Amino acid sequence: MNTMAELKARASDHQMSAAAIREKANSDNRELTHAERELMQNHLDAFDTVQADINLQARLESSEDFLNQSAGRKVQPDGLRNTHLPTSSEKGKCGFNHFGEFIKSVKDASISGGKLDPRLVANAATTYGSEGVGADGGFAVPPEWRSTIMDLVSPEDSIMNMTDQMPISGNSVTFPIDETTAHQTTGGILAYWDSEAAAMTASKPSLKEMTVKTSRLTALVPVTEELMEDAAAMGAYVQRKAGEKMGFKVTDAIFNGTGVGQPLGILNAPGTVSQAKVTSQTATTLHADNIVAMMARMPAGSFSRSAWFINQDVLPSILKAGFVVTSAISTTGVGGGALYMAPNGLSQSPYGSLLGRPIYVTEACATLGTVGDIILADMSKYLTVVKAGGIRSDVSMHFYFDQNVSAFRFVMRMNGQPWLSTPIARKNGSNTLSHFVTLATRS
C-alpha cells in the first residue's frame, strides 16, 4: 500500500482534474457535455477509491502508533530528522512553501552525499530511485506549480481559451460531425413541402467521423547555479518563461500548424477561405474594401462571435481604414465612413474593433501583404483537445550535470483543428463561406 502522502497527492490530482472540468463549463456559461460528464465521473470515482485507501492507511497507522506507545521515542535517520512534513494547509504543494524551496530540495538531493528531503519522496515515490534519482531522472513538480504553468499557457485572454476546448482522458477522441447546411437540397436530413395524404419523402443524416489524436508539446528549461542561489527569483523565472514559450507555441500552431505532430492551423485548413485582393491593389497594403469583403465571407450566425487577428504591421492600416460614401444618383463622394472604432474603456478590446468585432494583435499572424496578416475567425468553431491533468512537470539536476545546470521538463498533450473540413456552399451566391477568412497576398 502507498504512503499516506502519496495517497493524498493522488486524491488531490483527481479532485483538481474534476474541478477543472466543472470550472471550464462555468467559464463558458454552459452545461457539461456528455464527454465532460463521463470524464468528471471517472475522476470522482477514482477519488472515492483513493479516499477508501486513505481511510485504511489511517487505521493502519493508528494501530501501529498504539503498539509503539511503550517503545519510547523513535529516532529518525539523520537524513530525515527534524524535516518539515506536509500539512493540510499545504495541499497541492507537498509541504513546500514556494517553488524555490522545492527546487532547492531537488538540488540538495542530487548532490553526492546530500540529504534527501522526505517531501520529495512523498511527492514522487513512483519515480523515485536510489540516491535521489528518479526512474525518469528527476522529481515530479507538485500540483500547485503544475497548475501555475498551465494557467500561463492558457490565460483568460489566450487564443486557446477562445476555442472549443474538450478535455479527454486518453490520447485520442472521435467525433461524429454533420457538415450539411440548412439550405442544401441533397444529402443529410431534408424537409419537403407535400400535399395532404401524400406519402412523405424520407431522408437520413449524413455524418462523418473526425478523429483527433493528441500531440506532445514540450519545454526543457535549464536553470543555472546562480539562479539556484536566489530561490524566489528562480521559481518565478522558470514558471514565467516555460508558460510564455509553450503558450506562444500553442497560439502559433492554431494559426500556422501543419497538422502533422501538431494542431492543424487555420491557414492550412481546407475549410478556410481566402478573399481575393482588390483589382490592381498596391503591394503590402490593406484597404477598407478588403475588410468589408472578408466580412461578407463569414456566415451570418458566426460574425457576432468572430474576432480579427492581425500582425502588428497591419495596425497603421487598420487605424486609417475607411471608405467613401456616395449618393444613390452620383458617384461623387458625399461623406466618409470609418471601419475602425477606438476602444471604449477596459471592457472593450484593447486594440479597438473593426465592424464591431474586437481586434487581437499576435506575432502568429504574417507580416503585411502576406496571407495570414489579417484573419477573421470564429474561434468557437476551432476544436482543441487537451489531455486531462494538464501539464506534466519534472525537474532533474543530472541532464546538464557537467554544466552545473538543472533542467526543468514540461510536457503537455493537446491537438486541434477546425470543425469543418470544407467551405460552406451557399443557396444563393457564388462565394463560399467559412468560419475562418483570410486575405490573399497583395504583391
| Per-residue model confidence as pLDDT tens digits over 299-313 | 999 999 999 999 999
pLDDT score, position 411: 86
Residue range 182-208: average pLDDT?
Answer: 83
Residue range 230-257: average pLDDT?
Answer: 81
Residue range 27-39: average pLDDT?
Answer: 82
Contact 85, 94 (CB under 8 A): no
User: Pick the residue with more confidence: 368 or 182?
Assistant: 368
Q: How many residues does the chain have?
A: 443
pLDDT score, position 242: 80
Residue range 26-50: average pLDDT?
Answer: 84
Share of the chain above pLDDT 90, in %: 28
DSSP reduced 3-state for 82: coil
User: Pick the residue with more confidence: 439 or 109?
Assistant: 439
- 22-36, 105-119, 343-357: range with highest mean pLDDT: 22-36
| Position 362 pLDDT exceeds 90 | yes
Residue range 150-156: average pLDDT?
Answer: 59
Q: Which of 273-282, 288-297, 401-410, 422-431 has the lowest mean pLDDT?
A: 401-410
The model's pLDDT over 134-146, given as tens digits with 9 standing for 90+, comes to 334 455 555 555 5
Contact 164, 380 (CB under 8 A): yes
Q: What CA–CA distance (Å, rounded) separates 290 from 264? A: 26
Residue range 2-31: average pLDDT?
Answer: 79
pLDDT score, position 124: 43
Contact 388, 166 (CB under 8 A): no
DSSP reduced 3-state for 6: helix
User: Which band of pLDDT confidence, cut at 50, 70 and 90, is reported for residue 321?
Assistant: confident
| Paired sense of beta strands 374-377 and 353-354, if any | unpaired
| Position 401 pLDDT exceeds 50 | yes
DSSP bridge partners of 385? 166, 415
- H helical segments located in 257-336: 288-295, 300-303, 315-319
Q: What CA–CA distance (Å, rounded) separates 285 from 308? A: 17
Per the rule left: phi > 0, alpha: psi between -120 and 50, beta: everything else, 429 is left
170's grid cell:
486518453
179's grid cell:
457538415
User: Domains of the chain: which residue ranges?
Assistant: 266-381+419-439
| Position 84 pLDDT exceeds 90 | no
Sheet of 273-275: strand order equals: 273-275, 436-439, 374-377, 307-310, 357-361, 353-354, 340-341
User: CB atoms < 10 A from the CB of 138, how many?
Assistant: 24
User: Which band of pLDDT confidence, cut at 50, 70 and 90, is reported for residue 73?
Assistant: very low
- pTM for this entry: 0.64
181's grid cell:
447546411
| Position 238 pLDDT exceeds 80 | no
